[in-house]
Each structure stands twice: as structure tokens, then as C-alpha cells.
Amino acid sequence: MGNVDEELLYAIRAMEVLLQSGVGIVEAMKHVADEDYGDLSVEFGRIFKAIDAGAGMSEAVRKQMRATSSAGLRHTLSALAMSIEQDTNVIDRLRSIADKESRSRRIELQAFVESLSAVSEQFLIISVLVPIIVVIMAVIDALVGGAGGAFGGNMPRMPPACTPILFLLAMLAIAGLIVRTRSQEPKI
């Protein structure tokens, strides 16, 4: 249902424009079914399949309204069904649903943007500070090894593979942060 919710706002706005230009509700709904609104077009297509099978327009819309798991689509189909049954102006109802959906998306996007400040600090630490620390450790290890016994002779040394492994771990951590951030991104 994620695809339905992603496309719902655009479909509502398109239907709103079509209705304002004088197109009827059925034609506006047919536009959504025929155009590329992903799974939302499939949902609206089911309404027209039910109508082709003999169901009334209002009955087909209500049946699809009960079958969908998307709350936004359920509200939209409810408004369309009431408009069909009561022959009322659906434009204001669609505009209200679209405004509510738009507001919800803005809140979701705002929360995501605010969460990015902590992620940016993690990126900074991993991408800048960790490599600097690794280089400093490698330089100190080389100085201790080159000085021989000057620093006590028994100083432990870093294994030769330690520096590349630490850089690899830093790169993996950066890749992990990127994947985690992308997965948290709102699908708006």
C-alpha cells in the first residue's frame, strides 16, 4: 500500500483539477485508473471492473473503500461515494483530503530532516576523525618501530594489516549509515 499512499496526493490533485474544469466524477476517476499512478491506478481499475460486472457506481466505490488498507484512499473513496450518492460537490472534500495528506507529508518530512542532524555528526566522526586517528596511530607505530629500543624496546607494535582493516571498517560504517539513512527516508 506504500505506492498507493505515495501517489494518492497527486491523483487527488489531478481529480480536483479535472472536476474544476467541468469533467464528471466518473471521468475523473477513470483518469486515475487509466494513467500511471502505480498501485493506485490498479485500485481505481478494480472499481471499473466491478461496474463492468454489473455493480452500481456507488456500490463499486464503497466495496473498494472497504477492501483497501490505505486510510487516505479510504477517505477519498468515501468522499467520492457520498458525492455520487448525494450528488454533492466533491471538490471541496477532495481539497480538504489533499490538504490533510500534504500536511501529514510535511510533518513526516520535517521529522526526517530533524533526525538528519544526528546522522550528520556520525558521518563526520566516521569519515573525518576515524581516518585521522588511524593515520596518527600508523605514524606513531612507524616512529616507535624506527626508533628501535629508544622508547623502551618492548613497545607493542601494530600488526601490518591493522591500518587497512581500520580503513575498511570505517568505509563499512559509512556505507551502513548511508543504508540506514536511506531506509528511514520518507517515501514522499
pLDDT tens digit sequence for 13-48: 999 999 999 888 889 999 999 998 888 899 999 999
* Secondary structure string (H, E, C) spanning the chain: CHHHHHHHHHHHHHHHHHHHCCCCHHHHHHHHHHCCCCHHHHHHHHHHHHHHCCCCHHHHHHHHHHHCCCHHHHHHHHHHHHHHHHCCCCHHHHHHHHHHHHHHHHHHHHHHHHHHHHHHHHHHHHHHHHHHHHHHHHHHHHHHHHHCCCCCCCCCCCCCCHHHHHHHHHHHHHHHHHHHHHHHCCCC
The answer to whether the pTM exceeds 0.75 is: no
- Average pLDDT on 43-68 reads 91
